[in-house]
């Protein structure tokens, strides 16, 4: 009878605990975000209250990305995850206690949301670095693909469940339930064995050598990017792709649904898109070794599919094309995960933060620019949207290091 080595069994248990914790944590975030947006919209009589909070939050989190990345490199990832969960529990508890006051003083709500953003960003960076440190490259890529599937499933059902809860239950129950999700996630993360090899010892040395100065981290990140043709090309590709990634899931379905004056059709498009993403992630997990081939295939399919979505008028075909786009786009996930796993493990947090701070500039630009082009000339907008993926394909293919990545 074959027995599973204790180390392998512990690794499998760690993966399962993290996946369950991520799923529960994600549901709590969805519940909180939807309730705040819906509550402020209803009680202020305008969506502008929610827009103000959400808009400020998005910009703040982009601003935070570099600073938090630098911070996580100097501390134990697991300890930061625990502290960030405790902070969220306190913030959400206070938010709930002051909810009646916040409804007429939105600025207070904004402050609480921004504080929670700090906690969430610390958790996210710590979680990414913890899993990248804990697993080898192929395991990390496969794990993140599975985690992405779990997150998307929670996104589909979590939003529907949260909507029902918000509609039918009191805000006291909602905040209590949200706190419970964080308590469960916190408990599960405390059960994960922290067996990172050199991160913690390096973090102590980093504190001494760099004097905890942000300027040193910025200089290090800039120098790292300058010295790596791969990372420079990766950033260029992501800046280009994010122009489309901001527009396609949020605006393009609305444009297509508006052609038929049907809000229900918008729901169908969104569903087909998310289902396609899930199918694509399953495929990406199966063939995660073939980094370059998967990415180039995705760019090629997206180029043609998005053009067809733009010019065709048949409802069923458009839904199928959005499904194909979702499937194809998920094939890029191994490339992103591979890049993360190859960053300097001792400085991964600050590097991820610095890179994100750069590439997160383009999604909002893409939303406004491409929307304007669609309004000005539909065909030009469609052509430009498709060409984003052609340009990304050419940038990827022309880099020798990227063009032939296969994990043995």
At 147 the pLDDT is: 84
Highest mean pLDDT among 93-102, 271-280, 316-325, 346-355: 316-325
At 2 the pLDDT is: 41
350 within 8 A of 70, measured Cβ to Cβ? yes
Q: What is the pLDDT of residues 142-156, one digit of tens each?
A: 787 788 778 878 877
Handedness of CA 403, 66, 357, 15 (dihedral sign): positive
d(C-alpha 176, C-alpha 184), whole Å:
12
The pLDDT of residue 261 is above 70: no
At 408 the pLDDT is: 60
348 within 8 A of 199, measured Cβ to Cβ? no
Q: What is the pLDDT of residues 52-100, one digit of tens each?
A: 565 567 667 767 766 776 677 677 778 888 888 999 999 999 998 888 8
At 161 the pLDDT is: 74
Highest mean pLDDT among 69-83, 283-297, 319-333: 319-333
* Strand ranges in 177-307 using DSSP code E only, listed in sequence order: none
Residue-wise over 273-305: b if at least 16 C-beta within 10 A, else e? bbbbbbbbbebbbeebbbbbbbbbbbbebbbeb
Q: Which long-range contacts (CB under 8 A, 24 or more apart) does 261-266 make?
A: 265/315
Mean pLDDT of 386-397: 93
Q: What is the pLDDT of residues 198-251, one digit of tens each?
A: 444 445 554 444 445 567 777 777 888 787 788 888 889 988 998 888 778 767
Question: Pick the residue with more confidence: 259 or 177?
Answer: 177
CB-based contacts of 178: which residues, under 8 Å, 6+ apart? 28, 31, 32, 92
d(C-alpha 5, C-alpha 8), whole Å:
5
The pLDDT of residue 157 is above 80: no
d(C-alpha 155, C-alpha 165), whole Å:
15
At 200 the pLDDT is: 46
The pLDDT of residue 282 is above 60: yes
Question: Pick the residue with more confidence: 30 or 98?
Answer: 98
- Residue 53's closest CA among 94, 105, 107, 100? 107
d(C-alpha 366, C-alpha 357), whole Å:
16
Q: What CATH homologous superfamily does 213-403 map to?
A: MFS general substrate transporter like domains (1.20.1250.20)
| CATH assignment of 6-207, among 1.10.287.610, 1.10.540.10, 3.40.30.120, 1.20.1250.20 | 1.20.1250.20
Polymer length of the chain: 408
The pLDDT of residue 377 is above 60: yes
Q: What is the dihedral of CA 148, 153, 159, 160, to 10 degrees?
A: 170
CB-based contacts of 142: which residues, under 8 Å, 6+ apart? 285, 288
Q: Which residue has the tokens 């705040």?
A: 36
Residue 108: strand, helix, or coil:
helix
Q: What residue ranges do the domains of the chain occupy? A: 6-207, 213-403
The pLDDT of residue 10 is above 90: no
């Amino acid at each position: 009878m074959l027995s599973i080595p204790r180390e392998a069994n512990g690794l499998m248990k760690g993966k399962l605990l993290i996946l369950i914790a991520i799923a529960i944590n994600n549901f709590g975030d969805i519940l909180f975000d939807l309730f705040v947006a819906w509550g402020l919209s209803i009680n202020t009589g305008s969506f502008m209250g929610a827009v103000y909070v959400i808009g400020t939050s998005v910009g703040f989190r982009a601003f935070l990305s570099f600073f938090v990345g630098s911070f996580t490199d100097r501390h134990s990832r697991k300890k930061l995850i625990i502290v960030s969960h405790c902070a969220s529990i306190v913030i959400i508890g206070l938010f709930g206690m002051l909810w009646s006051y916040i409804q007429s003083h939105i600025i207070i709500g904004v402050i609480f949301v921004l504080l929670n953003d700090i906690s969430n960003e610390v958790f996210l960076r710590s979680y990414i670095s913890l899993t990248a440190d804990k697993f080898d490259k192929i395991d990390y890529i496969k794990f993140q693909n599975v985690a992405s599937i779990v997150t998307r499933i929670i996104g589909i059902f979590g939003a529907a469940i949260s909507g029902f809860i918000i509609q039918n239950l009191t805000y006291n129950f909602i905040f209590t339930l949200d706190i419970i999700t964080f308590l469960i996630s916190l408990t599960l993360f405390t059960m994960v064995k922290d067996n990172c090899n050199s991160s913690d010892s390096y973090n102590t040395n980093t504190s001494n050598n760099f004097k905890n100065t942000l300027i040193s981290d910025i200089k290090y990140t800039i120098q790292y990017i300058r010295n790596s043709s791969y990372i420079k090309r990766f950033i260029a590709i992501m800046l280009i792709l994010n122009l489309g990634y901001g527009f396609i899931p949020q605006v393009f379905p609305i444009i297509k649904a508006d052609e038929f004056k049907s809000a229900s059709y918008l729901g169908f498009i969104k569903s087909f898109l998310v289902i396609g993403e899930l199918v694509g992630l399953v495929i990406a997990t199966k063939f995660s070794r073939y980094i370059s081939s998967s990415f180039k295939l995705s760019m090629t399919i997206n180029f043609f599919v998005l053009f067809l979505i733009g010019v065709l008028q048949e409802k069923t075909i458009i839904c199928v094309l959005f499904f194909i786009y979702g499937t194809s786009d998920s094939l890029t996930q191994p490339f992103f995960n591979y890049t993360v796993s190859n960053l300097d493990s001792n400085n991964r947090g600050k590097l991820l933060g610095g890179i994100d701070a750069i590439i997160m500039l383009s999604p909002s630009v893409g939303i406004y620019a491409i929307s304007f082009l669609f309004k000005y000339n539909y065909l030009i907008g469609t052509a430009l949207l498709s060409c984003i993926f052609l340009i990304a394909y050419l940038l990827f293919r022309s880099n020798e290091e990227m063009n032939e990545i296969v994990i043995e």
